[in-house]
Amino acid sequence: MWCVCVHMAIRFLLIALFGVFCCSNTLAAANKVYQWVQLAPDGKISVRVITDAATCPELAVDGRSTSMSQRVGPSENFPEYVCELLLPQTTQRITLDGRPLATLPGDVQRVAVIGDTGCRIRFSMAQACNDPDAWPLQKVVAAVAARKPDLVIHVGDYLYRFGPCPPPTDCEGSPHGDKFEAWVADWIDPAQQLFSHVPFVFVRGNHENCGRGGKGWFRYFASGARPPECPAVTSPWKVSAGGLDLIVFDASDGRAPESSPKYLPTYRRMADAMFSGLTRETWFLTHRPIWADLVAFGDMIDGDDTQRAAFGKAFPEQISLVLSGHIHAFQAIDMVDGPVQGISGNSGTRLDPMPDSRLENIEIAGSRARTVINDHGFGFLLLTRMEQGGWQMDAMDENGTPRRRCALKGRELICEAKIP
C-alpha cells in the first residue's frame, strides 16, 4: 500500500511539474513586449502593443501620458494581450517606457515594399527556417532598415508555418499553426528592428484568410476593430500618408492564384467607392497581382481574373501603380492601358521559378504590356521620390544591393539594363 501511495504521489508530482513547464513555456514567449505603428483610416495611426500584462501600458504622446486600450485578451493559442491607441498622423513623438516608437513624417520620400515573408512549412514542403540563407527574412529586414524608409508596405502572407517540421529539414523546433508562437517566429520577432523605426501599412494575404491565419491577422494587424467572427472579405480603405495616397484592398479569399469569383459583384460595388474622389497620384495595394506573367508548376499565371473583371479596366488615371505579392519573385509590368503592376513577394518564402529576364511588347490576359522586368532572387522593392517627379524603383536583393532599376513617371515605366 505504501509503494502504491508513493508511486501515485510521484506520478501526480510529475504531471504537475509537466503542466507548470508547459504553461511557463507558453507564457515565456509572451514576456517580451512587442510594439509597432501602422497606418489607419481617417488620418490616424494605430499604435499596437503585445504584452502578457492584463493592464495596457501608458504611452508618452508628444510629452503627455496617454493610456492604451485593450484590443483583445487571451484566447486559445493566444496567451497574450493586444493593446491599441489611435492617434493623429501629425503626432510628433511617441515613447513606451522611454523607448521611441515610429511616427509618420509629413513628407514621404522613400517607401519599402516587402511581401510573402514567412518560412514555408506545409506537409513535406519545408524551408530550412533555422538557416538565414534559406530563409533570409532577417537579412531583408536589416537591409530595409539600413535604407531608412519613411514607410514600409507589407503586401501580405506573413504566416507560412502550417505544419510540423519534417526531418531532416533544418527547421527543428519550429512552432506551427495560427497561434501566437508561430506568428512571433514567422513575422513579429524578425520585424522588430523595423517596428521601432518606421510605420507600416499591412495588406491581408491569402495566408491570412479565415481557414489559415485569420485569427492572428485580425488579432494583430487588421485595420479597425477586431470583428467577433472572421470575415472572408473586408472593405477597402484609403489613407493619405505624407503626400502619398494609398488604397488597401482585401483580395485574400479564394484558391491560388485567383481570388474567389463569387466576389465579382462585391468587388464591382467596392470599385465605385474606391475610385471616387481621387485627386492626385494613388497606389493600389492588393495581395494578388491583377496582372502577372509567370509559368509555374505547369500553369500560365497571368494574374487575378476576378479583380481584372471587376475593375481592371476601370482604374482612374490617378492610380499609377498596383503593388502586390503572392508570386514569390520580383516583377514589374508596364501596362499599355492601365497602371504599372509591381510584384514584391520575394522577402522570405521559398521562391517561385521566375526567369531573370526582360520582355518587350507581350500580351497578358488580353492586354498589352510594353515591358516586363523580372528578378528571381530574394529581396524587396524600394521606391524613392525623384527631384524631377516620379519614383525611382529599385529591386533590391536580400542584402540591400540593387539588381533592377526603373523610373516610374505617371503610368510609364522606364527601366535600365540589369545592374551587374
Residues 43-68: tens digit of each pLDDT = 999 999 999 999 999 999 999 999 99
Supply the pLDDT for residue 287.
98
Q: What is the pLDDT of residues 268-305, one digit of tens each?
A: 999 999 999 899 999 999 999 999 999 887 788 999 99
Residue 171 in grid coordinates: 527547421
Residue with cell 513624417: 105
- pLDDT > 90? residue 420: no
Choice between 267 and 23, residue whose per-residue pLDDT is larger: 267
Residue 291's Cβ-side half-sphere holds a number of Cα atoms within 13 Å equal to: 30
Supply the pLDDT for residue 134.
97
Supply the pLDDT for residue 24.
36
Supply the pLDDT for residue 296.
81
Q: What is the pLDDT of residues 95-126, one digit of tens each?
A: 999 999 999 999 999 999 999 999 999 888 89
Q: Please state, for a pLDDT cut of 70, what percent of the chain lies above it.
A: 92
Q: What is the pLDDT of residues 355-364, one digit of tens each?
A: 898 999 999 9
- pLDDT > 80? residue 21: no
Supply the pLDDT for residue 340.
98
Say how far apart CA 225 and CA 66 lie, in whole Å: 19
67-75 contacts, C-beta under 8 A, 24 or more apart: 71/219, 71/225, 71/226, 72/219, 72/226
Give the closest residue to 82 by CA, choosing from 40, 29, 33, 118. 33
22-29 contacts, C-beta under 8 A, 24 or more apart: 26/79, 26/181, 27/52, 27/79, 29/79, 29/180, 29/181, 29/184
Cβ neighbours of residue 240 closer than 8 Å, sequence gap 6 or more: 43, 246
CB 110 within 8 A of CB 383: yes
Ranges of H-type helices in 93-252:
137-146, 180-183, 192-195, 214-220
Q: Please state, for a pLDDT cut of 90, what percent of the chain lies above it.
A: 84
pLDDT classification of 416: cutoffs 50, 70, 90: confident
Say how far apart CA 248 and CA 168 lie, in whole Å: 40
The mean pLDDT of 319-335, rounded to a whole number, is 97
The mean pLDDT of 15-20, rounded to a whole number, is 36
Q: What is the pLDDT of residues 81-91, one digit of tens each?
A: 999 999 999 99
Strand partners, 57: none
- pLDDT > 50? residue 334: yes
CB 235 within 8 A of CB 270: yes
Domain ranges of the chain: 34-101, 110-415
Residue 185 in grid coordinates: 517566429
Q: What is the pLDDT of residues 365-378, one digit of tens each?
A: 999 999 999 999 99
Domain 110-415 is in which class? alpha beta
Lowest-pLDDT choice from 11-15, 46-50, 93-97, 165-169: 11-15
- pLDDT > 70? residue 307: yes
Supply the pLDDT for residue 31.
56
Q: What is the pLDDT of residues 236-253, one digit of tens each?
A: 999 999 889 999 999 999
> Strand, coil or helix: what is 58?
strand
Supply the pLDDT for residue 257.
82
Say how far apart CA 88 and CA 77 lie, in whole Å: 33
Supply the pLDDT for residue 30.
43
Supply the pLDDT for residue 419.
65
Question: Is 266 buried (19+), middle (13-18) or exposed (0-12) by CB count in 10 A?
Answer: middle
pTM for this predicted structure = 0.92
